[in-house]
Amino acid sequence: MQLPDPTLILKNVSRHIQLNLNEQEYFLSLLQTRELPRKSYLLRQGEICRSENFVLKGCLRAYTTDEDGTEHIVMFGPQDWWISDLASFLSQRPATYTIDALEDTTLLQISKTDLEKLYGKIPKFERFFRLLLQNAFVAQQDRIQQNLSFTAELRYLDFIKKYPRLEQLVSQKQIASYLGITPVFLSMIRRKLSRR
């Protein structure tokens, strides 16, 4: 198997912290490449989430499934994003969410123990993951506020404005699941919008 290009993850990290060449090399040495074919699982509800995962290529989703089989997507993981079941990863307890690949995907993974080593050797990474967490927290708070305040139509318009890449990438069914509506209703919204 050929090694994938690490440029993307270094660029991702450099948005928050600066690394010299040795640090870059050490960081990369802790990462495992993983190929995930479409529809295969990275994590199933009930398993322990053992890695943080950076998406080099492809797209994942994290979701729950209720009694009647309906899926509810809490986050997407497109290229250049980090994804995991954070609660499970941090506590090493069973995961709430299932994570699978919406298309053939390549990941870079770091295990919990290697992440601890990384924190020890390059404390800047504490800062990096804290900033990641802060941004995620703020984005989530925003989403909660929108769910409380907006109709599905407004939420959809905001989604395509905020994540234009994702709108192209994932099916309407997945977007509907993320927005908390049925695919049928999303289709009705789109028809109404296109009539203008």
Selected binder of a copy of itself within 92, 145, 151, 187 (CB under 8 A): 145
Query: Smallest distance, Å, CB 108 to DNA?
Result: 24
Selected binder of a copy of itself within 3, 21, 144, 184 (CB under 8 A): 144
Q: How far apart are CA 104 and CA 18, in angstroms?
A: 31
Assigned token pair, 193 = 């919008």
Q: Is 181 in the site for DNA (CB under 7 A)?
A: yes
Enumerate residues 60-99 that contact a copy of itself by CB under 8 A. 64, 66, 70, 72-74, 86-87, 90, 96
151 binds, options a copy of itself, DNA, none, Cβ within 5 to 8 A by partner type: DNA
Burial 24-35 (b: 16+ CB within 10 A, else e): beebeebbeeee
The edge-to-edge listing of strands for the beta sheet with 32-36 is 32-36, 105-111, 51-57, 82-83
30 binds, options DNA, a copy of itself, none, Cβ within 5 to 8 A by partner type: none
Stretch that binds DNA, among 18-26, 50-58, 129-137, 177-185 (CB under 7 A): 177-185
Selected binder of DNA within 173, 178, 193, 196 (CB under 7 A): 173
Q: How far apart are CA 118 and CA 122, in angstroms?
A: 6
Task: Please count the other Cβ atoms lying within 10 Å of the Cβ belonging to residue 86.
Answer: 19
Q: Is 153 in the site for a copy of itself (CB under 8 A)?
A: no
Q: Is 196 in the site for DNA (CB under 7 A)?
A: no
Task: Please count the other Cβ atoms lying within 10 Å of the Cβ belonging to residue 142.
Answer: 12
Q: Is 163 in the site for DNA (CB under 7 A)?
A: no
Q: How far apart are CA 112 and CA 85, in angstroms?
A: 12
Q: Is 113 exposed, middle or buried (0-12, 13-18, 19+ CB in 10 A)?
A: exposed
Residues forming contacts to DNA in the complex (CB under 7 A) are 38-39, 70, 103, 151-153, 171-173, 180-188, 190-191
Residues forming contacts to a copy of itself in the complex (CB under 8 A) are 64, 66, 70, 72-74, 86-87, 90, 96, 126, 130, 133-134, 136-138, 140-145, 147-149, 177, 180
